[in-house]
Amino acid sequence: MTNSFQPDRNAEIREANSCMALGAGLGAVGTGTAFLAGVTCPLCFMIAPALIGYGVWKRVTAQRGACRESADKLCIPEKSESAD
């Protein structure tokens, strides 16, 4: 059973995974350069963790959005407002 939001969620998760992979690759290149040459690019030092963090954030929000749109209440329970 596929829902209408399934392709969008899969596309967002693929984009998040590619962002994390790009950040990890850039970090590996920066680390290798630091070991070989003794210096690293300041942009690589800043952008690699930012790409990984953005990918993680995008993946989590895509999964949360899919859970809230689905009928499965076990994924993320909706908060109920109770009158005191």
Higher pLDDT, 44 or 72: 44
Q: How far apart are CA 39 and CA 46, in angstroms?
A: 14
Amino acid letter, residue 37 = A
How many structural domains compose the chain?
1
In a domain, 40, yes or no: yes
Strands (DSSP E) along 2-62, which ranges? none
Domain span at residue 59? 16-68
Most confident of 2-11, 45-54, 59-68, 70-79: 45-54
Q: Give the tens place of pLDDT for each residue, 5-51.
A: 566 888 888 999 999 999 999 999 999 998 999 888 888 889 999 99
In a domain, 9, yes or no: no
Q: Please tell me the predicted confidence (pLDDT) of residue 8.
A: 81
In a domain, 47, yes or no: yes
Q: Please tell me the predicted confidence (pLDDT) of residue 47.
A: 92
In a domain, 25, yes or no: yes
In a domain, 10, yes or no: no
- Cβ atoms 56, 20 nearer than 8 A: yes
In a domain, 34, yes or no: yes
